[in-house]
DNA sequence: ATGAAAGCGCTAACAG
DNA sequence: CTGTTAGCGCTTTCAT
């Protein structure tokens, strides 16, 4: 079903069909009428690919993610809400990830889509600073602060501090940290907040209590096992995100530890899964939907040639739920 | 940054660059080497649009949704998990919806992408039966059962019956129903289950107790107000999905009604939001992630030319939580 | 008012 | 082994 099929069926040239379909002037009303009928009858719809190859603008916004997991899908909901009704279409793309392109996937995805398929992009948790894409780009939870594209993120240091201070306030002294994706600024900042709070509470930093979790459940498993099998086991864990925190709790259960009686756990993000399980996770909430919406608005503004803020920071706040308690006596 | 730029910089023809990039035979090792260096230096990546226009296969699976909301994003998580590691890329597309294309969006999206951008598609809650797309298609929560593409859905009748029987068991007699999207088979089946259970319990069907909700919070508001303002107010509401159920609860609160003391509410779907609020919703759970994964597997099988089941039904089960109780005395 | 032709970036025959 | 050529579906001058 191509434009040629329509042209043939209507007895006109493809150029005429194109004009009719795109509402260009210079087509006789009668011809237009006939073409439209054929289009409707055949169910023809112009190919996004072909037209975007030729045109400059596609009216499509790309959302580049590594994977569709709770974090990115929350953002997606926010973006979808903000873009709805603007006439733009959304194209959320997750390129195939293999081990060798785990870093740099966003540059690849962007090159593949930019200039042709999408007019602008919001990139979720890029692993490298993406610049010179040729199209407007907003990064959410970016690789690094300034220098790169415009960004949206939450108060990572403040959130982490709130989490650790909560734990300290409960009486914990041996507080472990499961690190996030080390290529992300947010992970660095959360660890920084963790260290700052420890220092302020007069608790020495113990490198043995910090392990990588990579923001992923699978990467967290071993780290959690090691941490919870330590001779001098921590009484609390501050995980860099909810996925890690949730996995820490599972591992704790495997090891016969009760949460929060034997072990307190705090996460970060407040994805829906954090509060929908049997036990509700104490966590630092990022306003994910709003962050997505904000990023979309910024992109829309850039696309319109309008000015907009370049780096937006949103507040993060601690939500105390059921996985934290004073340490065992 | 196009293939011509690379060709020029490497001093070869575009054809040669194409061969190198796609790993075709017939290129001198030395030439290949040089081209690869230029590619790396320039950060060239082949355009998805241009190559898919020329090639037959793109290695991309399309997920067509009307909107990114909790239901579709849960499916997306399941699909993403199942497709990860297969080498396929995912492209979730949400076309611009206006009032006049609310029905039929999926046919439009499919026409725009099929044949060029995507090799196959899973369509979420299509409004019409999509056939003859020219590419393999699996529909989740389809417009209609057989006749159309292969499908995945849950036991809608059984789930609805379980919900209503639970309410009846609690002692409710005036049970209202907020309908789903009337163009969807699932909505029809849930209403059917509702009616059957009522009949079996010897409760007469009262048309005044059934209102449209369209599976959307916004569409539900007025219906809920009308229902809860009835002279002989229902003591329980079975909403066709969680989004509607959640909104019914909000409206109840606005009207000064307590849930579940004054009004019991049951939803359907068990999206994460159903159990993450202050009050956890009693609902009928569909295994959304699994449904997404199953649909992806079916599509992958079709793409491989392998056989697969044509219509998959997954179980639905009632989860009693905090929004249902016996009717007020 | 209509159509012929060029070209978007790329791949696949086919020559050389 | 390399380059020339045609063409994927579409839009856009430019003639007619």
Q: Give me the mean pLDDT over the B88-95 stretch.
A: 94
Q: Give me the mean pLDDT over the A220-236 stretch.
A: 97
Q: Give me the mean pLDDT over the A12-29 stretch.
A: 94
Contact between A67 and B80 using a beta-carbon 8 Å cutoff = yes
* Helix and strand counts by DSSP (H, E) for chain B: 11, 12
Instruction: Judge whether A60-154+288-314 and A156-285 match in fold.
Output: yes
Alpha carbon of A241 to those of A71, A138, A153, A286: distances in Å?
A: 10, 22, 14, 10
For chain A, what are the domain ranges?
Answer: 3-46, 60-154+288-314, 156-285
Residue B148: pLDDT over 80: no
Confidence of residue B147 (pLDDT cuts 50, 70, 90): low
For chain B, the helix, strand and coil percentages under 3-state DSSP, each to the nearest 5: 45, 15, 40
Burial status of residue A49 (CB atoms within 10 A of its CB: 0-12, 13-18, 19 or more): buried
Backbone angles phi, psi at A323, to 5 degrees: -110, 15
Sign, CA torsion A122/A287/A237/B278: negative
The interface residues of chain B toward chain A in range 85-114, judged by CB-CB distance below 8 A, are: 86-97, 107-108, 111-113
The Cα–Cα gap between A275 and A271 comes to 8
Contact between A89 and B96 using a beta-carbon 8 Å cutoff = yes
Alpha carbon of B2 to those of A179, A189, B6, B8, B12: distances in Å?
A: 39, 38, 7, 10, 14
With residue A138 as reference, give the H or E element that holds it: strand A137-140
Residue A152: pLDDT over 70: yes
Quote the pLDDT of residue A1: 86
Quote the pLDDT of residue A284: 98
The Cα–Cα gap between B256 and B248 comes to 12
CA angle, residues A183, A98, B135, in degrees to nearest 5: 125
Q: How far is the CA of B13 from the C1' of C10 (A)?
A: 13
Work out the number of other CB atoms within 10 angstroms of the CB of residue A280: 17
Residue A145: pLDDT over 70: no
Give the total residue count for chain B: 329
Between A148 and B228, residue with greater pLDDT:
B228
Quote the pLDDT of residue B308: 84
State the alpha helices, DSSP H only, in B175-287.
185-200, 217-228, 242-254
The Cα–Cα gap between B239 and B210 comes to 10
DSSP state of A320: -
Contact residues for strand D with beta carbon within 7 Å: A 2-4, 14-15, 18-19, 21-22, 24, 44, 46-47, 50-51, 53-55; B 11-16, 19, 25-32, 50, 53-54, 115-116
The Cα–Cα gap between B128 and B109 comes to 13
A115 touches strand C (CB under 7 A): yes
Q: How far is the CA of B36 from the C1' of D3 (A)?
A: 19
Give the pTM.
0.93
Least Cα distance to B87 among A96, A126, A75 occurs for A96
The Cα–Cα gap between B128 and A142 comes to 40
The interface residues of chain B toward chain A in range 220-259, judged by CB-CB distance below 8 A, are: none
Quote the pLDDT of residue A54: 92
**First vs last C-alpha separation in chain B:** 73
Strands A175-179 and A236-239: parallel
Residue B110: pLDDT over 70: yes
With residue A158 as reference, give the H or E element that holds it: helix A156-170
Q: CB within 8 A of A54, min separation 6: which ones?
A: none
Between B106 and B203, residue with greater pLDDT:
B203
Confidence of residue A53 (pLDDT cuts 50, 70, 90): very high
Least Cα distance to B227 among B215, B243, B241, B239 occurs for B239
Alpha-carbon dihedral A268, A272, A273, A278, rounded to 10 degrees: 110
Quote the pLDDT of residue B99: 67
Long-range contacts of range A303-306, CB-CB < 8 Å, 24 or more positions apart? Answer: A303/A61, A303/A119, A303/A120, A303/A136
The Cα–Cα gap between B308 and B298 comes to 6
Burial status of residue A165 (CB atoms within 10 A of its CB: 0-12, 13-18, 19 or more): middle
Contacts of A273 in chain B (CB under 8 A): 272, 276
Residues A75-94 have pLDDT tens digits of 999 999 999 989 899 999 99
Quote the pLDDT of residue B146: 59
Residues A25-49 have pLDDT tens digits of 889 999 999 999 999 999 999 999 9
3 state SS of B328: coil
Q: Give me the mean pLDDT over the A272-301 stretch.
A: 96
Contact between B43 and A73 using a beta-carbon 8 Å cutoff = no
Residue B224: pLDDT over 70: yes
CA angle, residues A104, A108, A111, in degrees to nearest 5: 140
Contact between residue B228 and residue B253 where contact means Cβ atoms under 8 Å apart: no
Contact between residue A237 and residue A202 where contact means Cβ atoms under 8 Å apart: no
Residue B111: pLDDT over 60: yes
CA angle, residues B38, B43, B44, in degrees to nearest 5: 80
Between A220 and A97, residue with greater pLDDT:
A220
Structure tokens at B88: 């396929």
Between B265 and A58, residue with greater pLDDT:
B265
DSSP structure string for B141-187:
S-SSSSSSSEEEEE-HHHHHHHHHHHHHHHT---EEEEE--TTSHHH
The Cα–Cα gap between B326 and B319 comes to 16
Which of 3.40.50.2300, 2.60.40.10, 3.90.120.10, 3.50.50.60 is the CATH number of A60-154+288-314?
Answer: 3.40.50.2300
State the alpha helices, DSSP H only, in B43-176.
48-54, 70-83, 105-113, 156-170
Residues B35-84 have pLDDT tens digits of 999 999 998 999 999 999 999 789 999 999 999 999 999 999 999 999 99
Q: Is B156-285 a domain of CATH 3.40.50.170? A: no
Alpha carbon of A1 to those of A8, A42, A45, B118: distances in Å?
A: 11, 8, 8, 15
Protein residue closest to C6, using CA and C1': A54
Confidence of residue B128 (pLDDT cuts 50, 70, 90): confident
DSSP structure string for A20-61:
HHTT-S---HHHHHHHHHHHHHHT----HHHHHHHSS---EE
Residue A148: pLDDT over 80: no
Residue A100: pLDDT over 70: no
DSSP structure string for A192-242:
HHHHHHHHHTTPPP-GGGEEE-TTSHHHHHHHHHHHHTSTT--SEEEESSH
Q: Give me the mean pLDDT over the A7-23 stretch.
A: 95
The Cα–Cα gap between A70 and B12 comes to 46
Q: Smallest CA–C1' separation from B47: which nucleotide?
A: C9
Contact between residue B62 and residue B121 where contact means Cβ atoms under 8 Å apart: yes
Q: Give me the mean pLDDT over the B15-42 stretch.
A: 93
- CATH superfamily for A3-46 is lambda repressor-like DNA-binding domains (1.10.260.40)
Structure tokens at A307: 């000015």
């Amino acid at each position: 079903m191509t434009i040629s099929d329509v042209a043939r069926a209507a007895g006109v040239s493809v150029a005429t069909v194109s004009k009719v379909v795109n509402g260009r002037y210079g087509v006789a009303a009668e011809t237009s009428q006939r073409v439209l009928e054929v289009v409707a009858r055949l169910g023809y719809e112009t190919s996004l690919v072909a037209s975007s190859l030729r045109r400059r603008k596609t009216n499509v916004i790309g959302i580049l993610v590594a994977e569709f997991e709770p974090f990115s899908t929350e953002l997606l909901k926010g973006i979808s809400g903000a873009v709805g009704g603007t006439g733009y279409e959304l194209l959320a793309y997750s390129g195939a990830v293999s081990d060798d392109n785990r870093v740099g996937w966003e540059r690849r995805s962007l090159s593949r889509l930019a200039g042709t398929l999408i007019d602008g992009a919001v990139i979720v948790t890029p692993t490298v600073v993406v610049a010179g894409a040729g199209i407007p780009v907003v990064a959410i939870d970016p690789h690094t602060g300034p220098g790169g594209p415009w960004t949206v993120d939450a108060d990572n240091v403040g959130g982490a501090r709130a989490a650790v201070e909560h734990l300290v306030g409960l009486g914990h002294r041996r507080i472990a940290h499961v690190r996030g994706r080390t290529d992300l600024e947010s992970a660095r900042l959360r660890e920084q907040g963790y260290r700052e709070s420890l220092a302020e509470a007069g608790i020495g930093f113990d490198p043995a209590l910090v392990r990588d979790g990579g923001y992923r459940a699978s990467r967290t498993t071993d780290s959690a096992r090691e941490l919870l099998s330590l001779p001098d086991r921590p009484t609390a864990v501050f995980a860099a995100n909810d996925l890690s925190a949730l996995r820490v709790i599972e591992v704790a259960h495997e090891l016969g530890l009760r949460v929060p009686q034997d072990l307190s756990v705090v996460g970060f993000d407040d994805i829906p899964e954090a509060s929908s399980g049997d036990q509700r996770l104490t966590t630092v909430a990022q306003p994910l939907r709003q962050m997505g919406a904000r990023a979309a608005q910024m992109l829309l503004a850039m696309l319109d040639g309008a000015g907009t803020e370049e780096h937006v920071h949103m507040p993060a706040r601690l939500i105390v739920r059921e996985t934290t308690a004073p340490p065992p006596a």
